[in-house]
Every structure is written in structure tokens, then in C-alpha cells.
Copies of this chain bind each other. A is one copy, B any other.
Amino acid sequence: MLDVQNQADTREIPLAKVGVKGLEYPIRVLDKKNTSQYTSATVDLFANLPKHFKGTHMSRFIEIFHRYRNDLSMPMFLNMLADVRRDLDAEASFGVVNFPYFLEKTAPISALPGMMSYRCSYQGNVNAHGRHFTVSISVPVATVCPCSKAISERGAHNQRGIVKVVLELGPFFWIEDVIDIVEKAASSPVYSLLKREDEKFITERAYDNPKFVEDVVRDVYLSIRNIKKFPRFSVEAENFESIHNHSAFARAEYAG
């Protein structure tokens, strides 16, 4: 049967990335407390395409990912990308896997349990120079506005925000530990399940601990830099402002 993709191409244009995007797949990832957890992912997989080939072979990306779906620990994710590079005869391979990561979290006073969902993603590439791996972790938090508190005689506006940390690895670490750092840097963590005694505790703790997006970003940045594990990272915070219909945003970057 004719292999159109394998035909020669004369336009002399190499493609940086060719592959599949938006694939929905069940995966299993490592979990500090329970060894592993099942979740659902959205997957992009690419390889570069040299200028002399007309097209890539899209089915090979799926064949490879299918084999790895039940063990997407960070090292296995890079092995998967190395297989993509080899099986596609490519100089470089690239991959992104987005998934919700679930943790049980107990309320601060009642200690009742609820599940929290944290959006995470693995991003990696493999080429002749090595393997590169980046993890992104998004943590919902609560923030009380320091300006609103300082200028108002009573109350202070506050809101939910999302803090996104992107880490270039580096030695192994647990997603749980980064979540912990972020939750400590906010006015308060957020929870799925809170009884009244928890709500009182959180309201007062958050009011006593007001933070701008700028403050949250700087405090997370300091904590991550102090670990001295990550050669490069960024921290972003987005507040869904309760007094506006838009967000407040801040971002810091560390490059060694």
C-alpha cells in the first residue's frame, strides 16, 4: 500500500513539530500516599520532521502512548518520549500531558476529609543533547487584599485565586510538596469540605494574613528557591477578584 507520508518533499522546509493533539486518555501516575492514582489526561505528542519527508506517521504516537499509559511516572514519561523519537526517526520529540491530580485533604479544625483536584501537566522533550522535563502544578487558594484591609474600617475583599508553579527538573520531587508550599504562601488554602468551625478558623486566619498576587508569587518563589533543587522555575498567581470581573495577575521567573 502506498506510503504517501514517506514520499520526498521538495519544498525544503523542516517542521519544528508534527504529531497528535488533544488525545483523551486514562493514565496512572505516582501518588505519595497511595503509591499510584488513576486519572484522565489530555495528551499532545510531537516529533520534528526533516525537510525531505512529506509527512509523519501519526498512528505511531498513539501506539507508543498506549503502552505507557499505566505508568506515567516522570522517568517513564521521558522513556515514552525517547520511544517517540526512535520510532519516528526524529531528531527531537515533545510531549505534554495535562491531568487533574486528586488528594484527600482534611479540614483544619473538624478534620473531616474531602478530595481536592489540582491541575497538573508534564512537559518534556528528548533530543541528541538529552532529556528535559518540566512539571506544572496549579493550586487554588484564597487571598485577602492587603490594600482593602488597610484602607477599610471593616472587612476586606478576598477571592479565590490560582497559583501555577512550573518547575524544570532536577531531581525527583513530590507534587504534594509543591502544593504544600503554595498553600502556605496564600492567605489560606481552600478545601472541599468545611464545617462552621473550619470556616471561622479560615476566615480569621486569612484576614490576619492578607496577600496581594505579588506577595503570593514572591513567597512561593522564595520557598522554591530555598529548596535549591530546580535549575529553572516560574511562579504565576491569578486572582479572580471579587470586586472586578477580571483577574489580577503576577509572575516571577528564576533562571539559575
Q: Which residues of A contact B (CB under 8 A)?
A: 1-5, 9, 11, 13-26, 37-40, 44, 46, 49, 54-56, 58-59, 62-63, 66, 69, 100, 102, 112-117, 140, 142, 144-148, 150-160, 188, 190-197, 199-200, 202-204, 206-208, 212-215, 217-219, 221-222, 238, 240-253
Q: Smallest Cβ distance from A201 to chain B, in angstroms?
A: 9
A247 touches B9 (CB 8 A): no
Number of copies: 4
Tell me which residues across on chain B come within 8 A of A38, comparing CB atoms.
26, 37-39
- The distance in angstroms between the C-alpha atoms of A199 and B194, with both chains bound, is 29
B37 touches A214 (CB 8 A): no
> Given A2-B150, A245-B140, A248-B58 in contact, is the A203-B14 Cβ separation under 8 Å?
no
Tell me which residues across on chain B come within 8 A of A66, comparing CB atoms.
113-115, 192-193
Q: List 29 A-B contacts (CB under 8 A).
A: A1-B200, A11-B218, A13-B221, A13-B222, A18-B213, A18-B251, A19-B248, A21-B246, A21-B247, A23-B245, A24-B117, A25-B117, A26-B37, A26-B38, A54-B212, A55-B215, A59-B193, A59-B194, A63-B112, A147-B196, A151-B200, A152-B203, A154-B203, A155-B207, A158-B158, A158-B159, A159-B159, A192-B244, A192-B245
